[in-house]
Amino acid sequence: MNQKIALVTGANKGIGLETVRQLAQQNITVLLGARDLARGEVAARELARAGLDVRVLEIDVTKSDSIRQAVAQVERDFGRLDILINNAGVLLHDEDKKISDQPLDVWRKTFETNFFGLIATTQAFLPLLRKSEAGRIVNLSSILGSITYHATPGSPVYDSKVPAYDVSKSAVNAFTVHLAYELKDTRIKVNAAHPGWVKTEMGGQGAVMEIVDGAKTSVALATIGEDGPNGAYLHLGEPIPW
């Protein structure tokens, strides 16, 4: 089977769904990961009607049993995975409280999806990615994960503090660098993507980028060649300071 197999988590809407579309348009078989199977099926059918090879895969990155079942299904159906895009994420914030007073529950729920769920999913699928001729892992980060920018007055995000989300993305960046180092002598490349401030539910009012553009960084990193970056933090091909 020469056609590449990709999995995008959290993909029944927004940037994830558009990422699925753009990958499938490149003749890639794409597994549309969704924790809500019914919503995932609706999204996958819409893309399939457009002639794209998209199939739904039920996966909740916060539940180990769900991840394990998803891995078993991919192994049974395809025997390998070529692309993993860790797109699933949440943005939680108590606007009535200061940074130092954000409830611990907000921190825990944010990290459970954005960080621990990402690691659990990556660990579980890594054996299948090792079977690929050119495995690619893309971790969805954010410019809000840049510690350099947060510490620099006048930077694009200096006055934009959503603490639990921001710190979870900084942690994703650190994990990306560490995993890229481990895999530097393999055929797998690992990178972090900032999609941009995109017009989605999470992006909210004021977002400036269209969804079609918000998916471009993930798609580019998912399809890089052998000479592409490893352990990088990028937006539309440009590096972001850690």
Task: List, by residue number, the catalytic residues.
Answer: 165, 169
50 contact partners, CB below 8 Å, separation of at least 6: none
Name the region of 154 (left: φ>0; alpha: ψ -120 to 50; beta: rest).
Answer: left
List the one residue out of 95, 81, 177 whose CA is nearest residue 125: 81
What φ, ψ does residue 6 adopt, rounded to 5°?
-125, 150
